[in-house]
Amino acid sequence: MAVSVQQVLELMQSIAPPALAAPWDNVGLLVDARRPVTAILTSLDITPAVVAEAAAAGCELIVAHHPVIFDALKAVSADDVPARLLQNGISAICMHTNLDAAPGGVNDVLAALLGLGPDAGPIADGCGRLGTLERPTTAAALAALCAQRLGPGVRYVEAARPVRRLAEVSGAGGGFLAECIEKGADCLVTGEAAHHIALLAKQKGVGLVVAGHWATEHPVAPALAGALAERLPGVRVAAAQTDTDPFVYL
């Protein structure tokens, strides 16, 4: 059974309302090939490899987190990803900061992986979660958990006290450390944090776990595939296998 791109867009807007997106963001239907949709690929990023995978699988639509068009385009070549999408008759729906903040979105998926319950509340303009762990732990233990569940390349600053109140902000969330401290967090788990953020964590005695931008956000792709498959029973939906971390870790 085929559905229209517009039907999928409306479904995604119900899952991640555009009103939740930051003013600077670019979300929604960013590439429209105007073809009926029988198969969907979900992904964190839309790369040439992901486009090739979608084309090989007969997908007419990719639903991604990071916008495939972010800054204004001044020129497009045949090798650019938006052009590759249109060449293969593939549309692209991208839900970025709205999917970060939405219930069941990027941060709720990460919070569940870290052991935070459904009572974890929003922080950082909704793009993060703060809650109480069932058992006190350490930043080192949380870093080991991230390495096990999210992947390699994890760094951490140990807390000066047991970690009971845990904050998480997926992706580039290190800049929210001060806000998390003000709200009583003992540790922040995020994807990226600058050097001065690590110094601040050490000075304040709070834990900081930096687990990688891709790693902290990628789990939403299979979760989103499951949500779309449940709501679109006649459409094939899968998470991209070629959507991989661009970094190589020694």
Q: Which segments in the chain show pLDDT lower than 70?
A: none
Domain contains 179:
yes
Residues with Cβ within 8 Å of residue 196, at least 6 apart in sequence: none
Residues with Cβ within 8 Å of residue 213, at least 6 apart in sequence: 171, 172, 191, 192
* Domain end (from 98, 123, 139): 98
pTM for the structure as a whole: 0.96
pLDDT of residue 119: 86
When divided into structural domains, the chain yields a total of 2
Q: Which of 95, 85, 92, 91 is nearest to 52 (CA)?
A: 85
CATH number of the domain where residue 68 is located: 3.40.1390.30
Q: Which two tokens stand for residue 56?
A: 């090989």
pLDDT of residue 164: 98
The mean pLDDT of the chain is 97
User: Hey, how many other C-beta atoms are within 10 angstroms of the C-beta on 1?
Assistant: 9
pLDDT of residue 125: 81
Q: Are residues 52 and 123 in the same domain?
A: no
pLDDT of residue 85: 98
Range of the domain at 117: 103-216
User: Would you say 62 and 128 are in contact if contact means Cβ atoms under 8 Å apart?
Assistant: no
Domain contains 27:
yes
Domain contains 86:
yes
pLDDT of residue 204: 98
pLDDT of residue 19: 97
Q: Are residues 117 and 180 in the same domain?
A: yes
**Where does residue 47 rank: exposed (0-12), middle (13-18), buried (19+ CB within 10 A)?**
buried
Domain contains 242:
no
pLDDT of residue 57: 98
Domain contains 222:
no
